[in-house]
Amino acid sequence: MEKIHLHDKTFRKFIFHSRIQEAIDEVAEKINEDFEGCEDVPVMICTLNGALPFTGELYMRLKFNCELGSVKLSSYRGTETTGTVLTVQGLSEDVRGKRVIACEDIVDTGNTILALRELLLANGATEVRICTMLLKPDVYDKDVKLDYVGMEIPNDFIVGFGLDYNGLGRNYKDIYVLDQ
């Protein structure tokens, strides 16, 4: 489908599934290099719901022992960020004394990733590496280092491959941009 309709908005195809898969391969390669031969068992934390497809695909490409957990944070209403990050569901795994790979679907202002990092450190993580499928560099304004970035995109509203507009659109395998 070249265009999809969600609620009151139309979106056009922006990033093909094949390009998403290439980006995930590249991120997995970097993570595997960084954790090659590790004796500890890191924890990969998926930020629900948006990062679920990305984290699942990435997790299956890891070549070292790694636990998997999740957390649910929220900062969007409609197409706009609220500026406030709420913890909707706490951590599903104990991260105390462990290295963590925090997976996000998209980083824009960085408010959510900053809150996630603080949450993980407050729960005893010894190290937090930030991994995101997508980054909007034009609006990212935090000093927190992003360790693994799949792709950089412009500051446009997108849906698909886990990203939604008021609950719809996550199930599409391609990524779509708001059709102005």
What number does CATH give the domain 17-34+41-154?
3.40.50.2020
Separation of CA 79 from chain center: 17
Q: What is the 3-state secondary structure (H, E, C) of the chain?
A: CCEEEECCEEEEEEECHHHHHHHHHHHHHHHHHHHCCCCCCCEEEEEECCCHHHHHHHHCCCCCCCEEEEEEEEEEECCEEEEEEEEEECCCCCCCCCEEEEEEEEECCCHHHHHHHHHHHHCCCCEEEEEEEEECCCCCCCCCCCCEEEEECCCCCEEECCECECCECCCCCCEEEECC
| pLDDT for the residue 79 | 53
Quote the pTM value: 0.91
| Domain-wise residue ranges, the chain | 17-34+41-154
- The CA distance from 171 to 156, in Å, is 19
| pLDDT for the residue 54 | 98
| pLDDT for the residue 91 | 79
| pLDDT for the residue 90 | 65
Q: Supply the residues annotated as catalytic.
A: 108
- The CA distance from 29 to 72, in Å, is 26
- Which residue positions in the chain have pLDDT lower than 50? none
| pLDDT for the residue 80 | 59
| pLDDT for the residue 87 | 62
Residues in a beta bridge with 43: 67, 100
Computed over its alpha carbons, how large is the radius of gyration of the chain? 16
